[in-house]
Amino acid sequence: MHAVDAGELATMDFFAGFTPHHLAQIARYSKRIRFAAEDMLFEQGELANRFYVIKSGRVAIELNAGGRRVTLQEIGPGEPVGFSWFFNTDTMHFTARAVEPLEAVFFYGTLLREECELDRDLGYEMLRRTSQTMMERLEAMNKLLAHTLADALKKSA
């Protein structure tokens, strides 16, 4: 495995502002990875032990609901996906699927979480950033839910 250089991480929006020391810590748990269109980065219910930051391409964040896959949001370059690992959960809460050919940086989440527990400053920065990402995803889900409910009410009227 060839870790991504800390300098490269510094150019990614998600990691902007991390100290050089913290970037070096994070970089140790990373590697480059590619996916073809329609490949799954992970599926809802799988072991939560990793996350990705997208370099190029697009990812659909999906929820399995009643046997159907519902797209909650599409994300692109610079955006992270897959933070269940950070909150000590066992499984992924969503599915992430490559919409088009994708290049990403893969991170060993469970190893990075251990590093965050040892270095509270690193842990705080990761918590702050993952929480912001989760709030954005929650807002996207709320918009989808509101739109779906409004459509259902129109049809029943």
Q: CATH for 31-156?
A: 2.60.120.10
What confidence tier does 133 reach under pLDDT thresholds 50, 70, 90? confident
What is the pLDDT at residue 156?
A: 82
Residue 132: partners with Cβ closer than 8 Å, 6 or more residues away: none
Dist CA 42 CA 61 (whole Å): 10
Question: Dihedral through CA 144, CA 90, CA 50, CA 1, nearest 10?
Answer: -160
**pLDDT surpassing 90 at residue 7:** yes
Residue with the bigger pLDDT between 149 and 76: it is 76
**pLDDT confidence of residue 80:** 94
Tokens representing 113?
Answer: 């979480």
Domain positions in the chain are 31-156
- Can you read off the two tokens belonging to residue 75? 């994300």
Cα of 94 vs its chain's centroid, Å: 10
CA-CA distance, 23 to 150, in Å (whole number)?
44
pLDDT digits (tens, 9 = 90+) for 57-87: 999 999 888 888 889 889 999 999 998 888 8
- Spatial CA neighbour of 25 closest among 117, 130, 103, 91: 117
Residue of higher predicted confidence among 134 and 24: 24
Asked if 120 contacts 20 with a C-beta cutoff of 8 angstroms, the reply is no
Read off the pTM: 0.86
Return mean pLDDT, the chain.
Answer: 91
